[in-house]
Structure 1
Amino acid sequence: MKIEHIAIWTNNLEILKDFYKKYFNIEVGRKYRNEKTKFESYFLSFNGECRLEIMQIPSIQNSKNNILKQYVGLNHFAIAVGSKSKVISITQILHNDGYNIISEPRKTGDGYFESVILDPDGNRVEIIL
């Protein structure tokens, strides 16, 4: 068994798609749109493995949670970029482009080399080796 995909809501479908495509070189599936409900989504593929589904519908509300605090529920997802130098360089590029860096590249107590950033919607993303 494996996780096939994780889905997240957004109010900025194209911005979020472009973010993951630009910084993580993902493959973008075709846009799905339900004309009746105005639901739209993309599947973003990471080398044919687990996919991220980003979804938008006019009635979705913004989260009222403080993005810098921890809450019960999904905390983050991690994207493996293949090397320590890529973790560092992608994090630096994101910083230079004005994105929030929660944790600079470092080796964690459990042995991961990672940074933690916020995507344009405030979702926590670990960038790992």
Structure 2
Amino acid sequence: MSVTHIALYSNDLERTRAFYMKYFNAKSNEKYVNAKGFSSYFLSFDSGARLEIMAHELLEYREPKDHVNGIHHIAFSVGSRENVITLTNQIVQDGYPLLSAPRETGDGYFESCISDPNGIRIEITE
């Protein structure tokens, strides 16, 4: 058994697609649109993981909160501490919020946390 993909709603589908393609080397399919106001892209990553980003014309934006039921973060491994630092700096320089600078965590991971265009926490790990 395996997880085939995770799906997220976005209030800016094109910006979200561009974010994951630029920083995490995602490959995208063609946009799917239906008559009910729904649209989506499937993003595929080198590891085989997939992320479906979805939008709906009736979607209401809500500020993300840290302690609620649901997805808390998505983690991407970039292979080294140097890559964590480099990618984090690039994303922050491009105007995305830094949630925590690159550091070693209490459980031994080297990571940083940034926010994607929807306010979803992204962990960048070595």
Corresponding residue for residue 100 of structure 2: 103
One-letter code aligned to 1:9: Y
Corresponding residue for residue 112 of structure 1: 109
One-letter code aligned to 1:109: G
Q: Does 1:57 align with 2:89?
A: no
| Residue-pair matches, total | 126
> What is the distance in 2 between the residues matched to 1:45 and 1:107?
28
Identity of matched residues, %: 46
User: Displacement of 1:2 after TM fit?
Assistant: 2.2
Q: Does 1:73 align with 2:95?
A: no
Corresponding residue for residue 33 of structure 1: 33
> SS of 1:52's equivalent?
strand
- Please tell me whether the aligned partners of residues 25 and 46 of structure 2 are also in contact (alpha carbons under 8 angstroms): no
> What is the distance in 2 between the residues matched to 1:25 and 1:64?
27
One-letter code aligned to 2:84: V
TM-score calculated relative to the size of structure 1: 0.91
User: Displacement of 1:33 after TM fit?
Assistant: 1.2
> What is the distance in 2 between the residues matched to 1:64 and 1:114?
24
Ranges in structure 1 where 5+ consecutive residues have no aligned partner: none
> What is the distance in 2 between the residues matched to 1:23 and 1:77?
14
One-letter code aligned to 1:86: N
Q: Does 1:12 align with 2:9?
A: no
Q: Does 1:91 align with 2:65?
A: no
> What is the distance in 2 between the residues matched to 1:47 and 1:57?
28
Corresponding residue for residue 24 of structure 2: 24
Ranges in structure 2 where 5+ consecutive residues have no aligned partner: none
Say which of 79, 95, 114 aligns to 1:82. 79
> What is the distance in 1 between the residues matched to 2:112 and 2:15?
22
> SS of 2:101's equivalent?
strand
